[in-house]
Structure 1
């Protein structure tokens, strides 16, 4: 119970900071409507936030490996919120671009040290790390719920209000790490770094990221095609994707404790193969059942990626956290335009069919991994 409270608080903090990863896409329609920005311009702002965050995260990971930086966690959260708060201030495109980049920098600075601290305060518990990870999922999903009504009511001039979740999250996270810092210093090296296994794990994460981000981008449109109902059906599909994904993340920690991380991971991706095939090819209401099963199967390994990466690189825990969390954002976003091109050239069904092969690839690569021995 002593470990439950700090990891619960850190999960809430993780939700507060990941709101800002979903805030930029939520602001895009308003940037188009109020500023008259074109698709290329708003894509540039989105890229400033997501790609910079993903690229810089490993750098912060290296820094946290050299010395503990617990103070960086609340500072980074505040920076992420400040960037979004400034995004709607003024009318300069480049000011908005820099504000988005500032928010992305804050997100990048947060994750490596926060992942290291969460692992430490949870005592290495897989269940604890699953709670921390699902906090991020919840934050990303809540972004449109928080951003859209506010900006619809008062316009982009109200973006400064969006700094509030960052301030609340910084306060909550500070409570979680207070008193724990003394016992959570720089992690001691326990065994040698296994880079070949870590690179195989990275390949799995790349495939998983493309599948989940691709579904998040196109599933609302595909739901309308398969089931009918237009935007309402699309909204239901997105809710199922995010809610079932959060549930799957929590299951991952419990399954890993009972069956082992590697076994749980490869089995989950194997289950995802027929699940994706079902949602792509089976018409009617069964579509939603296959979507839920896909989201659960693809999310069960999410938190396990982080702890496996840290155990494969025991001497570079921060670097491992930065790379695992960074890949989850950047690769999927970069590959999504490829899926869009396939959809335009052939069909959305053909584009989503390619995701079946990626899930299968993740499962097969899993057989090349062994459970790391933690000394």
Structure 2
């Protein structure tokens, strides 16, 4: 990290953006308490953040395959923060959904381009990409604390305070873009031929990430309320559970990068999903405060493969890195939010425990899919290949400097 200031700044900027992904789930208990939302209605807020994001991220990914758009980093950061900041100002459910959706679009625009820039800055290092992912996980972990600090002793009308991380994140983008614009030794990037793409493996990987997204988003939407029920506690118990769910991801991302340097990424991901099966079961069925331990283990198990899946997707589709990033880092992650309303309806008609029980099967399905995946061979030098549009523009920027 000391040798790569760009990755450090990107990681911190990633944290600022992903606060707004975590803030959606962190706001749910406040919407339920202040506006008397049912489980189904509250989960619709998560759906609003996920729906447009699911569609937009692959689009932005395809665009970054054709053009370098570094300006998206500060603009999308501000958009993500503005949506959440405005979400609590109106009692209208429709306006709340609209502002949360705006935030989702901002987050969607950020991730494919930031993943492209991070890959350029990391020079293919699994550990560096792990640190970049760590930033996002820290942002997730901080979200319930930031939301609680901003509005926990007031009302939803304090949500404008939540724009502050976006302002900091946008400011951090400026030195990052300047650092990457400096002349550097070696090639700036090359494009692989289309026949180098392993589309079948990429599809299997994407399905595995979808199932991971369903269990993680389902838990992040309802674990706060579930912890309050299981411990007969206040909103503080829910905040702790959500914080642990997000904080474990910080540990998992760094651990995943380290393990991938010793073992291959596919094998590490298989182990992690097996751990997640037992951990999710413990969250749902372990009585009392012991559930908090399983919440942390679930987070670690689900996040060890996180950055590894991003680089696997890029290696399976080497000619379309932006698209691969948009799908593995965006689309498949956002799809989990589409399932949340179904869980909410089931919880309203039965119990929250019954609604969460199907989530145990999700990491099992991810594990089965990873058993059918190969570890991509190390990319070889393609100096003779033509550079993609984004790489040519990166090189032009350096030349102009």
**Bin for the TM-score computed over the shorter chain:** 0.7 to 0.9
CA distance in 2, matches of 1:361, 1:194: 21
Closer, same or farther in 2 for the Cα pair 1:110/1:212, shift >3 Å?
same
Count matched residues: 374
CA distance in 2, matches of 1:71, 1:284: 48
Please report the TM-score for the alignment, with normalisation by the length of structure 2.
Answer: 0.82
Contact 2:46 2:340 in 1 (8 A): no
Contact 2:46 2:337 in 1 (8 A): no
Contact 2:81 2:162 in 1 (8 A): yes
Closer, same or farther in 2 for the Cα pair 1:358/1:153, shift >3 Å?
closer
Unaligned runs of 5+ in 1: none
| Structure 2 partner of 1:104 | 104
Give the superposition deviation at 1:279.
Answer: 3.6
CA distance in 1, matches of 2:37, 2:266: 45
Contact 2:43 2:221 in 1 (8 A): no
Closer, same or farther in 2 for the Cα pair 1:90/1:248, shift >3 Å?
closer
| Structure 1 partner of 2:305 | 301
Q: Which has the larger displacement, 262-271 or 174-183?
A: 174-183
SS of 1:61's equivalent in the other structure is helix
CA distance in 1, matches of 2:348, 2:95: 33
| Structure 1 partner of 2:359 | 355
Superposition RMSD in Å: 3.0
| Structure 1 partner of 2:392 | none
Closer, same or farther in 2 for the Cα pair 1:56/1:151, shift >3 Å?
same
In the alignment, structure 1 residue 194 sits paired with structure 2 residue 198: yes
Contact 1:55 1:326 in 2 (8 A): no
Contact 1:227 1:284 in 2 (8 A): yes
Give the superposition deviation at 1:169.
Answer: 0.8
CA distance in 2, matches of 1:92, 1:288: 34
Q: Which has the larger displacement, 212-221 or 88-97?
A: 88-97
Contact 2:196 2:317 in 1 (8 A): yes
Deviations 1:171-208 (A, max 9, x none): 21221231313658665226611111011001111111
| Structure 1 partner of 2:134 | 134
Closer, same or farther in 2 for the Cα pair 1:249/1:75, shift >3 Å?
same
CA distance in 1, matches of 2:329, 2:302: 15
Give the superposition deviation at 1:41.
Answer: 7.1
SS of 1:19's equivalent in the other structure is helix
Deviations 1:70-89 (A, max 9, x none): 12211221222233344456
Deviations 1:27-69 (A, max 9, x none): 56666788x6865876665543332122101100000000211
Deviations 1:197-221 (A, max 9, x none): 0110011111111111222233344
**Pairwise mapping of residues 32-181 of structure 1 onto structure 2 (< 5 A)?**
46-87=46-87, 96-151=96-151, 158-181=158-181
Closer, same or farther in 2 for the Cα pair 1:29/1:355, shift >3 Å?
closer
Contact 1:56 1:108 in 2 (8 A): yes
SS of 1:372's equivalent in the other structure is coil
Contact 1:223 1:233 in 2 (8 A): yes
CA distance in 1, matches of 2:51, 2:127: 29
CA distance in 2, matches of 1:97, 1:233: 26
SS of 2:179's equivalent in the other structure is coil
Closer, same or farther in 2 for the Cα pair 1:363/1:257, shift >3 Å?
same
Closer, same or farther in 2 for the Cα pair 1:279/1:159, shift >3 Å?
closer
CA distance in 1, matches of 2:333, 2:85: 22
Closer, same or farther in 2 for the Cα pair 1:82/1:225, shift >3 Å?
closer
CA distance in 2, matches of 1:26, 1:349: 19
